[in-house]
């Protein structure tokens, strides 16, 4: 699939110009190349446990 096809599809869906979509860096990645993953699954989830934080907070 040529890069212009997904650029045009995203531009049509969002109302942006194709040049704006290209500037933002949308690329089609072949799933067989797992070394290109921009969001690897080995990153731990980011969250804050408010209950634990309140339990360990000193009370004045």
**23 is in which domain, residue-wise?**
1-30
Is there a domain that residue 18 lies in? yes
Torsion sign (Cα): 18, 20, 21, 23: positive
Torsion sign (Cα): 11, 15, 17, 20: negative
Is there a domain that residue 42 lies in? no
Is there a domain that residue 46 lies in? no
Number of domains in the chain: 1
Is there a domain that residue 22 lies in? yes
Whether the CB-CB separation of 16 and 10 falls below 8 Å is answered with yes
Q: Quick one: average pLDDT of 39-60?
A: 75
Query: So what's the pLDDT on residue 41?
Result: 66
Residue 4 or residue 1, greater confidence: 4
Query: So what's the pLDDT on residue 16?
Result: 92
Span 2-41, pLDDT tens digits: 889 989 999 999 999 999 998 988 777 776 766 665 666 6
Residue 6 or residue 47, greater confidence: 6
């Amino acid at each position: 699939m040529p890069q212009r096809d997904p650029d045009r599809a995203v531009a049509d869906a969002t109302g942006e110009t194709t040049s704006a979509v290209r500037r933002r860096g949308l690329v089609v990645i072949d799933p067989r190349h797992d070394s290109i993953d921009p969001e690897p699954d080995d990153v731990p989830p980011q969250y804050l446990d408010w209950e634990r934080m309140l339990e360990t907070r000193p009370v004045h």
